[in-house]
Chain A
Amino acid sequence: MSKQMTGAKMVVQALKDQGVEVVFGYPGGAVLPIYDELFLQNDIRHILVRHEQGAVHMAEGYARSTGKPGVALVTSGPGATNAVTGLTDALMDSIPIVVLTGQVPTFMIGTDGFQEADTVGITRPCTKMNWLVKDTAKLSETIHQAFHVATHGRPGPVLIDIPKDVQFATADYTPAEKAKISHYQPRTEGDPNQIARLVEMMETAERPILYTGGGVINSGPRASQLLRELANETGFPVTSTLMGLGAYPASGKSWIGMLGMHGLYEANLAMHGCDLMINIGARFDDRITGRVKDFSPRSKKAHIDIDPSSINKVIHVDVPILGDVAKVLEELLRQWRARGSRTDKAGLAKWWKQIDEWRAVKCLAYKPSTSTIKPQYALERLEALTKGMDRYITTEVGQHQMWAAQFLGFEEPNRWMTSGGLGTMGYGLPASIGVQIAHPEALVINVAGEASWLMNMQEMGTAMQFRAPVKQFILNNERLGMVRQWQELLHGERYSSSWSESLPDFVKLAEAFGCKGIKCDDPKDLDDAVMEMIRHDGPVIFDCLVEKHENCFPMIPSGKPHNEMLLSADAEAFRSGAVLV
């Protein structure tokens, strides 16, 4: 028996059917019928944000930390255009989110009506798929379809644009199980023959490396578990991209650290020198490869990815394996074990010896100080004082983000939320709120730069209103630090607009929001101050005044190969010759 209801009610019903518990949103004329329906029920919680960009980043934080799709609801016109940055961010980092936008009534579309924007046109390139629903009878099915698309294959953002008259009109509701199954069913099983080729290569490789990425985390906890088994049983070293941190534990014996532009010396040199590279759910991003022509020149490369367009896009690989990471690793381990779990032990021992020599360089070493807080020191202390806690970390974008990736250790997947592909300043604060809403009891810390943090600081109001006790740990260098670093190294020390001027007093700002503010500028006080932040039952803005001119090393300048990495010691010697991207 079918059930008649209004489009607005359908939206809420479909969200419930999809298991949605929280919606991050902001009302406006074109979504009022949906807000009315939200008001009339108690199953779905609505988090009122302060800016629609915040809603989308919260949905991302929610999704990344739970593995479930995040949902945002915004009005037409400016509500929809404010969502564009978040959509693009989610597209770049493969985060499953469903964004619902209101639209002017169907009969007004195309008339430049009040708050009309061509939302599906604007968001087409920044969504995995989007729909303008012009008929209430198709609305519920479209929503079910949207959840399917967002979460299957390579995850990503989807958007449904719902004109106001479609929300008011009545039609039959299609429950999730009755909805037309989408033809969109990406292949998840890897080709066993290609996997067999990889197994043979694994048996004879002398210098193998597992290069893992966000795909391992997107594939689900089983994928991380299988990666651990693979690494531990083979003894192959594991490195990861920024997006993949936590899939393999930082305390694991095969862990050699993050790779890439600000990755560890040992990880980048191992990538450069390996003879077998097994890419698991990463995408050969330019922050990883450096100069493509010189990328890992002597290795055979295998690539496991669910997205066919990721394979051979940037780097030509010898063994392409199209499939879901967990399913492919399952089969890979099965075949490799069935053939006797063989590796070249002598080769591996030599390889690890080489890696240990690279490690001995201690690429993260920095000049300690007793008078000013070094940002690296602040993160080392944060790591030490929160280790073992039920902890989630988000970040903004800049030097602090890279230091957080270098100095914090992640033992589990879904514990690290950062804007990788798009590099969106302003991501971290709303993302931390999204994470905290999903995990109310956990310690959620946003490692921020003062400049990024200001971009979405209005969301402190959201944190206060919904009692999300997020900790905003601001490494305040009074600089657009990463910009300043590039200007120092690549633009003749001409610091064009990279000062953070006229900063607010963060403690007073915290008080203005009604939350706790802490300021610390002395390394001796740092531990106590961090503990005070952790223990405080409520949101905290922590203004950690750090060394202003610290540079983030190692650094591979854009367009340079991995073996032309800058360490802090040679930084002075380095001036030009790198390509700016």
Chain B
Amino acid sequence: MSALNIKKGSTSHSAYDLRSANSEVEESHTLAVIVENEPGVLARVIGLFSGRGYNIDSLTVAEVDHTGHRSRITIVTRGTPAVIDQIEAQLSRMVPVHAVHDLTMDGPSVQRELALVKVRGKGEHRIEALRLAEIFRANVVDSTLESFVFEMTGTPEKIDAFADLMRPLGLVEIARTGVAALKRGF
């Protein structure tokens, strides 16, 4: 991430759009895209990003309404304000897209990611890993005499921080889901 990156949600505390339309500064935005759960829809959404040169930092998708066949795609993307607006317009005109919410602009939101982190080690390292996991409220979901798999949820930053701490203690593998997000309040 670049130093210029405006943290998620930071512009949303004002009632005004503080961004200048001509700003060249890249921002990170979390978009929730509600789509018809049909074959090919995810490919169409992803194809839009690759075809038009937009970034995807993280993407999650699952059906959230089984009777209505709606899926929710959560995309974390980066771009100047003009590019973000264009991404939202491009998404919202797609035939199978029902709604596009910019959670970064819509007010504060909760953002969570789940990670499974495998750490291998003995003795002091093993004890330290367990102690840190407790501080991060990570659960042990698998253990052998030489390894743990920790499960944790949190913001991507929290997971980054945990992974950084685990690296010298024997981190061997990590699986992350990408961000799921909801607007806070109503």
Contact = CB atoms under 8 A, between A and B. Distances in A.
Interface stretch (B2-10, B92-100, B141-149, B175-183): B92-100
Contacts of A307: 93
Interface string B52-86: 00000000000000000000000000000010011
A130 interface: yes
A121 B82 CA distance: 29
A153 B86 contact: no
A316 B22 contact: yes
Contacts of A311: 89
Contacts of B36: 183
B93 A308 contact: yes
B182 to A, nearest CB: 22
B39 interface: yes
A84 B118 CA distance: 47
B92 A308 contact: yes
Interface in A159-208: 182-184, 186
Nearest to A316: B21
Interface in A119-135: 120-121, 124-125, 128-132
A132 B44 CA distance: 14
B95 A184 contact: yes
A309 interface: yes
Interface residues of B, number: 19
A121 B89 contact: no
A312 interface: yes
A149 interface: yes
Contact of B47 (A124, A129, A184): A124
Interface centre among A154, A184, A186, A311 (most CB of B within 10 A): A184
Contacts of B82: 312, 316
B43 interface: yes
A184 B40 CA distance: 17
A312 B93 contact: no
Contact of B86 (A125, A154, A183, A309): A309
Contacts of B92: 308-309
Interface residues of A, number: 23
A154 B93 contact: yes
A129 B96 contact: yes
A313 interface: yes
A308 B89 contact: yes
Contacts of B21: 312, 316
A312 B47 contact: no
Contacts of A186: 93
B51 interface: yes
Contact of A153 (B43, B47, B90, B93): B93
B168 to A, nearest CB: 44
A281 to B, nearest CB: 15
A124 B48 CA distance: 10
Nearest to B40: A120
B96 A125 contact: no
Given A130-B40, A132-B40, A309 B95 contact: no
A131 B41 CA distance: 10
Contacts of B89: 308-309, 311-313
Contacts of A124: 40, 43-44, 47
A131 B51 CA distance: 20
B22 A121 contact: no
A3 to B, nearest CB: 26
Contacts of B96: 129
Contacts of B39: 132
A178 B170 CA distance: 62
A149 B95 contact: yes
Interface string A301-319: 0000001110111001000
Nearest to A306: B93
A120 B89 CA distance: 23
Contact of A128 (B22, B85, B90, B95): B95
29 contacts: A121-B43, A124-B40, A124-B44, A124-B47, A125-B47, A125-B51, A128-B95, A129-B95, A149-B95, A153-B93, A154-B93, A182-B95, A183-B36, A183-B98, A184-B95, A308-B89, A308-B92, A308-B93, A309-B86, A309-B89, A309-B90, A311-B89, A312-B82, A312-B85, A312-B86, A312-B89, A313-B86, A313-B89, A316-B22
For the complex of A and B, 3 pairs with smallest distance between CB atoms: A309-B89, A129-B95, A308-B89
